[in-house]
Amino acid sequence: MMTIKEINQNIKNIADAGKTMDSRIQLTTIGMMEHAQMHGDRTAFDRMLAAFPKSGRKQAWIKYVEDHTPYNHNAKEDCFSLPKKNVRSFFIEEAKDCPFWEYTTEKKPEPLNIAKTLAAIFKAMEEGKEVIHANKLLTKEMGELAKKLWEADKQTKKNAAKVVA
């Protein structure tokens, strides 16, 4: 078991390493933008994607690169490419003014709304869409309860619409 002194030291080390990593990513990203603008070589962005730390804000960084360069991120192939009809250019000075970790904000996790989730499942089933593993998820008892919840939700929405009208 770790002592509180070891825990506190690790927290300090993590904070220091995080600041160093953020600065290193930002500095490297600006360098990649300048290199790509000068030489037309975007491959460093792809290498950075592959090397991005799991605990980093990869999606924020992708948005940052897309908004400050002419490149688009291809999520399927996890790489950047130049659009066929490129009308965007580099915004390196703007990128220098705002580091990637401040460029976007992370969404706070929202609680899971079971009634809404089940309503979406039943709606999909009503529309004839395939719902994978529905038979495992919705046992007979769960299915009856979920259907009651969904019906109650539909009735609540109808009543709300009457009040508004």
Task: Give dist(CA 75, CA 88) in Å, integer.
Answer: 20
What's the mean pLDDT when you consider all of the chain? 82
Q: In this structure, how many other beta carbons lie within 10 angstroms of the beta carbon of residue 42?
A: 19
Please tell me the predicted confidence (pLDDT) of residue 113.
78
Please tell me the predicted confidence (pLDDT) of residue 106.
61
Count of structural domains within the chain: 2
More confident residue, 16 or 122: 16
Task: Give dist(CA 32, CA 61) in Å, integer.
Answer: 13
The last residue of a domain, from among 79, 103, 127: 103
Residue 24 pLDDT exceeds 90: yes
Residue 164 pLDDT exceeds 70: no
Please tell me the predicted confidence (pLDDT) of residue 160.
58
pLDDT per position as a tens digit, 85-99: 877 889 999 999 999
Question: Is 69 a domain residue?
Answer: yes
Token pair, residue 101, equals: 């970790």
130/98 same-domain check: no
Residue 49 pLDDT exceeds 60: yes
Q: What is the pTM of this model?
A: 0.61
129/156 same-domain check: yes
Task: Give dist(CA 90, CA 71) in Å, integer.
Answer: 9
Task: Give dist(CA 45, CA 73) in Å, integer.
Answer: 10
Please tell me the predicted confidence (pLDDT) of residue 45.
95
Residue 56 pLDDT exceeds 80: no
pLDDT per position as a tens digit, 96-154: 999 988 887 666 667 777 777 777 777 877 888 776 665 555 555 566 666 677 677 77
Question: Is 109 a domain residue?
Answer: no
**Position 53 confidence tier, pLDDT thresholds 50, 70, 90:** confident
Task: Give dist(CA 144, CA 138) in Å, integer.
Answer: 9
Q: Which domain holds residue 147?
A: 114-164
More confident residue, 17 or 126: 17
Question: Is 79 a domain residue?
Answer: yes
